[in-house]
């Protein structure tokens, strides 16, 4: 009887030490919250491989890669999260738009920002950022008239935004 109990305890100890009980998704979240983005990405990849919270793990991976400026990888991870069933929220649209913006894909960025602006879950701060990013993308696309129009609406809603006021002055010269 004693040998059976000792064997059972040794098996349990081996399982614990081998990492079989470690949750890489949870470890990824802890690393992400702690600003350890490379470690977070590693843990989220492991969670995806083990099919643990797959949609959330992809989303976490996207955030970790965004923080390390791997915009192509972040975009791929966010799209995989959506494919795995993650909800297409305003925040996700903003992140995808931001990835496209960073990669110079301005039309795609605008499409994501516009989609994000239609979402109901968008905070005022996020809405403001997406609106400004749409203006920036339109200007860089050469669609100056649309950029001016959007900027006029933006500055009417956010008159305290000094950067936008300077941008409006600049666009008037074009």
Average pLDDT, the chain: 87
Please state, in angstroms and rounded to a whole number, the distance separating the CA atoms of residues 141 and 35: 34
Reading the block at residue 28, the tokens are 């990824």
Please name the residue that has the structure tokens 């010269």: 173
Q: What's the confidence (pLDDT) of residue 21?
A: 57
Mapping DSSP onto H, E and C, the string for 61-118 reads HHHHHHHCCCHHHHHHHHHHHHHCCCCCCHHHHHHHHHHHHHCCCHHHHHHHHHHHHH
Answer for the pair 60, 29: CB distance below 8 angstroms, yes or no: yes
Largest separation between any pair of C-alpha atoms in the chain: 89
Q: Can you spell out the DSSP letters for 111-166?
A: HHHHHHHH-TT--HHHHHHHHHHHHHHHHHHT-HHHHHHHHHHHHHH-TT-HHHHH
Please state, in angstroms and rounded to a whole number, the distance separating the CA atoms of residues 143 and 123: 27
* CATH no. for 23-86: 1.25.40.10
> What stretches in the chain show pLDDT beneath 70?
1-21
Please report, for the chain, the start and end positions of each structural domain, with discontinuous segments joined by +.
23-86, 113-174
Q: What's the confidence (pLDDT) of residue 84?
A: 96
Q: What's the confidence (pLDDT) of residue 22?
A: 76
Q: Give pLDDT tens digits for 119-138.
A: 988 999 999 999 999 999 99
Chain center to CA of 58: 10
């Amino acid at each position: 009887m004693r040998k059976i109990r000792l064997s059972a305890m040794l098996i349990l100890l081996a399982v614990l030490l081998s990492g079989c009980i470690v949750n890489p998704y949870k470890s990824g979240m802890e690393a992400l919250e702690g600003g350890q983005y490379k470690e977070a990405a590693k843990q989220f990849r492991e969670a995806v491989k083990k099919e643990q919270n797959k949609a959330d793990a992809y989303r976490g991976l996207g955030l970790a890669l965004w923080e390390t400026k791997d915009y192509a990888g972040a975009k791929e991870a966010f799209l995989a999260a959506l494919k795995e069933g993650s909800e297409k929220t305003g925040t996700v649209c903003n992140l995808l738009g931001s990835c496209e913006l960073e990669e110079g894909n301005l039309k795609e960025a605008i499409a994501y920002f516009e989609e994000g602006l239609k979402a109901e879950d968008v905070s005022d701060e996020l809405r403001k950022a997406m609106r400004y990013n749409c203006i920036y993308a339109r200007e860089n696309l050469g669609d100056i008239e649309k950029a001016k129009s959007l900027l006029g609406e933006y500055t009417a809603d956010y008159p305290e935004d000094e950067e936008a006021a300077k941008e409006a002055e600049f666009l008037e010269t074009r």
